[in-house]
Structure 1
Amino acid sequence: MTTGINAVPRSIGTDDIAVPFADCHITEEAQAAALRVLRSGWVTTGREVAAFEASFATVVGAEYGVGVSSCTHGIELALRSLDLPPGSLVLSSTMTFCGAVQAIVHAGQLPVLVDVDPKTGMPTPATIRTAVREFGPPAALTVVHWAGDVADVPALAEAAGLPLDRVVVDAAHAVGTYAGDRPIGSGCAATCFSFYATKNLPLGEGGMITTDDPVRAEWLRRARLHGMTADAWRRYLPGGSWRYNVAAPGLKANLTDIQAAMGRAQLAYLPRWQRRRAQIAARYDEQLAGIPGITLPHRPALRDGKHAWHLYPIQLRFAGIDRDAVIAALSERAIGTSVHFIPVHRLAYFSQTAVIPSIGLAGADTLFDRLLSLPIYPRLTDEQVDAVCAALADIAQQNLADRTTCKDGKGTE
């Protein structure tokens, strides 16, 4: 059957409301902070980074923060801090960004990909145990709070047979996520955050590792700058010494004072931004709930915590029309969307570098074919949300009408 939305391109009309998928809002205060640092004569890692690390750690309930160049580098450094034997097994969800698994490879370990529950997009104790039964006990586990939802980290660690100090949390989506009444950011070996342009606390680039372990925090600070015992800021301070040592391998993965100054300014807006994300999610819920073929995102029970709503991922089950056709139809209406993510086991590089269960990863495959991320960011207006919902309702109604016509023998099979 050929449906109307597949067969007839729709031109963008004058009544269409453009809805970009993402928006990177750098506030005036953050812009002014960046300019202040640019004028200061010191722009790389220095006092601004130290201040941002302390502020961010407080916000997420951790003892220490270590600013890094990206969440990906954060995960790699956190895994290196575990001091695992080379080639150790590290469990990872297959429904994650490729960089999170590349970090395992770059840390010298072997990623074991774990299936997910299609309802949540995250591994379960059962899928963890399945991987452990086939490949043996892992040395470590990475856990992603996918889309900003709450993963049950203690339950997953227990299923893997690991203590929490062998768990690295990927919180790229989880600035604003709560587990119970506590923000994500403590309780494990390390938690890694992203400040990429599309994230809940956008700086363009950058990341943060939080930990409660002072020894690990100091190791991470050195490792992010080649393993040097003294960074440039401390060496170049009045009375500082040019001498340093390198006792362990490291990376070039430091955060700059420019980014940190912006981050401190952006943090002041985070509570209102998070409230707005929750309002948008509720508005989507209200308008999309009655559309046949659309499954709303999973959300935690009140006792489990709070969703950060980094993403609003729906699942599409329209009979006779696939996800990519819906994406094209929305694009014709000037509405941007995305898919998070292509499961890692479907990417060619990881067929050679990761371990995949012999029974496959059916949960992730099922979810991927249905996934669609809708726009959600603080400056998204109610009018734009309504336009997205109206477009999806129109596509669903048009698809239903086309199928009804075909069943009546008046259409084209």
Structure 2
Amino acid sequence: MSEQTTIPFNITSFAGETADALVKVLDSGWVTTGPQTAAFEQDFADYLGAAHVIAVASCTTALELCLRALDLPPGSAVLTPSLTFCGAINAILHAGHRPVLVDIDERTLVPSPETVAAAAARVRPAAMIVQNQGGYPVDVPALTEAAGLDRTRVIEDAAHGPGAGRDGRPVGADSFAACFSFYATKNMPIGEGGAIATSDPELNDRVRAMRLHGMSKDSWKRYLPGGNWRYDVKRAGLKANMTDIQAAIGRAQLGVLPGWQRQRAELVAGYDERLAGTPGLVLPQRELDGVQHAWHLYQVRVPDRDAIIEELAAAGVSTSVHFIPAHQMTLYREVLGAEECATVPVTDRVGEELLSLPLYPGLSADAQDRVVSALAKALRARS
């Protein structure tokens, strides 16, 4: 199968005005954190309906900054799903804390109040990270109550979240801390970058300083006409700021995001219709009352997953897996210990079956038909 006929797992799209926006930033003479970053923060806050947005270098640094801003005692227990990207676990470790695993509901692929309560019963959690796996918006208040935590101790990993919502409110609109990703494969790709949406003014002030070493003023404020070079550092921070180059791309991408989300929903409906009733296949959880799925991923469950991936690749269809459960990786097995790793049996079972199909704006009907045909053929051979 030639490269020209291969259906990629993802193609990164950019808004038509992206190039012009970049040229304007380059011509301005200011490319790091500055006026475009501030404008992007306001634009994204308006889109979410959030009180505050802080633009940062990545979702991973967003998670770590929020954990550090909580001022938890060193080594505190932080609840987290194991079915997550390794960066989310690293954020807990880099902040000086201890991950405690939460199992998932096999239909939604996110923790349920029951699995959170079971994990909280093993430890006394100081905080929790909840994740919108694949774009499915978790019920944050229900999980917060199940953990026995105050909302100011719950951080949302909304890397897959732009476009998702519950009860008519976008993910991040009312959050204490919701962390977004703008990585190249995400629903609103910039290439790299992240953001934190918060309703809490104190967290906003803390994280805004901490994203740039903890300095009281960034360089834009220091070098504005009439600005003063003096600054203070009151708490340790990270080098985690977004640049104006990234922010300019983000502002352009935000303008086309609603249209892209509609395309994703149409593609998901197409997958559902074409794949319904395929033997051996479990389709993703459909939208429930009050739940608006972002459809960052279209995750199916299949038997003999690795062999099917190879067969699809031979047919010119690229796929991916989200994710290898963290506790199955060498570092985290050593950090967590065998007893902790044994607490997530549903994650272990489902993690061996998950397969992410191509899903991105611009995926043609013909290409989608090829994906469906190749997958159905592989599954029929096993029925």
Q: TM-score range by the shorter chain?
A: over 0.9
User: Residue 263 of structure 1 aligns with which residue?
Assistant: 250
User: Residue 295 of structure 1 aligns with which residue?
Assistant: 282
Aligned with residue 67 of structure 2, among 50, 70, 79: 79
User: Residue 332 of structure 1 aligns with which residue?
Assistant: 314
User: Residue 315 of structure 1 aligns with which residue?
Assistant: 301
How many Å apart are 1:18 and its aligned residue? Answer: 2.3
How many Å apart are 1:83 and its aligned residue? Answer: 1.4
Aligned partners of 2:129 and 2:175: how far apart in 1?
10
Aligned with residue 327 of structure 2, among 317, 339, 345: 345
User: Residue 179 of structure 1 aligns with which residue?
Assistant: 166
Contact map agreement 1:164 1:187 (CA 8 A) in 2:
no
How many Å apart are 1:64 and its aligned residue? Answer: 0.5
User: Residue 110 of structure 1 aligns with which residue?
Assistant: 98
Contact map agreement 2:175 2:197 (CA 8 A) in 1:
no
Q: Secondary structure at the match of 2:92?
A: helix
Q: Which amino acid aligns with 2:160?
A: H
Gapped regions of structure 1 (runs ≥ 5): 1-11, 401-413
TM-score by length of 2: 0.97
CA deviation string 1:344-365 (max 9, x = no partner): 1101111233466374311001
How many Å apart are 1:17 and its aligned residue? Answer: 4.5
User: Residue 198 of structure 2 aligns with which residue?
Assistant: 211
User: Residue 352 of structure 2 aligns with which residue?
Assistant: 369
Aligned partners of 2:376 and 2:334: how far apart in 1?
42
- Compare 146-155 and 248-257 and name the one that shifted more: 146-155
Contact map agreement 1:82 1:166 (CA 8 A) in 2:
yes
Aligned partners of 2:236 and 2:27: how far apart in 1?
33
CA deviation string 1:321-341 (max 9, x = no partner): x11110000001111000000
The higher radius of gyration belongs to 1
Q: Secondary structure at the match of 1:357?
A: helix
- Compare 32-41 and 198-207 and name the one that shifted more: 32-41
Aligned partners of 2:341 and 2:66: how far apart in 1?
29
Aligned with residue 31 of structure 2, among 43, 48, 52: 43
Matched pairs, number: 382
Provide runs of 4+ in structure 1 moved above 6 Å: none
Aligned with residue 242 of structure 1, among 219, 222, 229: 229
Aligned partners of 1:49 and 1:368: how far apart in 2?
38
How many Å apart are 1:300 and its aligned residue? Answer: 3.1
Contact map agreement 1:277 1:376 (CA 8 A) in 2:
yes
Aligned with residue 380 of structure 1, among 348, 360, 363: 363
Gapped regions of structure 2 (runs ≥ 5): none
How many Å apart are 1:60 and its aligned residue? Answer: 1.1
Aligned partners of 2:148 and 2:173: how far apart in 1?
20
Q: Aligned pair in 2 of structure 1 residues 232, 87: CA closer, same or farther (>3 Å)?
A: same
- Compare 119-128 and 252-261 and name the one that shifted more: 119-128
Aligned partners of 1:280 and 1:325: how far apart in 2?
25
Aligned with residue 228 of structure 1, among 215, 221, 229: 215
CA deviation string 1:251-285 (max 9, x = no partner): 00000000101111111101100000000000000
Q: Which amino acid aligns with 1:347?
A: M
Q: Which amino acid aligns with 1:373?
A: S
User: Residue 5 of structure 1 aligns with which residue?
Assistant: none
Aligned partners of 1:373 and 1:36: how far apart in 2?
37
Q: Aligned pair in 2 of structure 1 residues 358, 105: CA closer, same or farther (>3 Å)?
A: closer
TM-score by length of 1: 0.90
Aligned partners of 1:324 and 1:91: how far apart in 2?
30
Aligned with residue 140 of structure 1, among 107, 111, 127: 127
Contact map agreement 1:150 1:300 (CA 8 A) in 2:
no
Contact map agreement 2:216 2:233 (CA 8 A) in 1:
yes
Contact map agreement 2:101 2:343 (CA 8 A) in 1:
no
How many Å apart are 1:188 and its aligned residue? Answer: 3.1
CA deviation string 1:44-71 (max 9, x = no partner): 0001000000110111121000000000
CA deviation string 1:119-154 (max 9, x = no partner): 22111111112112222x211111001000121111
Aligned with residue 57 of structure 1, among 45, 70, 74: 45
Aligned with residue 83 of structure 2, among 95, 101, 116: 95
Aligned partners of 2:350 and 2:382: how far apart in 1?
21
**How big is the alpha-carbon RMSD for the aligned residues of Structure 1 and Structure 2?**
1.5
Q: Aligned pair in 2 of structure 1 residues 113, 180: CA closer, same or farther (>3 Å)?
A: same
Contact map agreement 1:74 1:192 (CA 8 A) in 2:
yes
Contact map agreement 1:145 1:174 (CA 8 A) in 2:
yes
Q: Which amino acid aligns with 1:145?
A: N
Aligned partners of 2:352 and 2:6: how far apart in 1?
26
Aligned partners of 1:261 and 1:379: how far apart in 2?
23
Q: Aligned pair in 2 of structure 1 residues 337, 196: CA closer, same or farther (>3 Å)?
A: same
How many Å apart are 1:113 and its aligned residue? Answer: 1.1
User: Residue 9 of structure 1 aligns with which residue?
Assistant: none
Aligned partners of 1:216 and 1:358: how far apart in 2?
32
Q: Which amino acid aligns with 1:350?
A: Y
Q: Which amino acid aligns with 1:393?
A: A
How many Å apart are 1:13 and its aligned residue? Answer: 7.9
Aligned with residue 374 of structure 2, among 364, 374, 391: 391
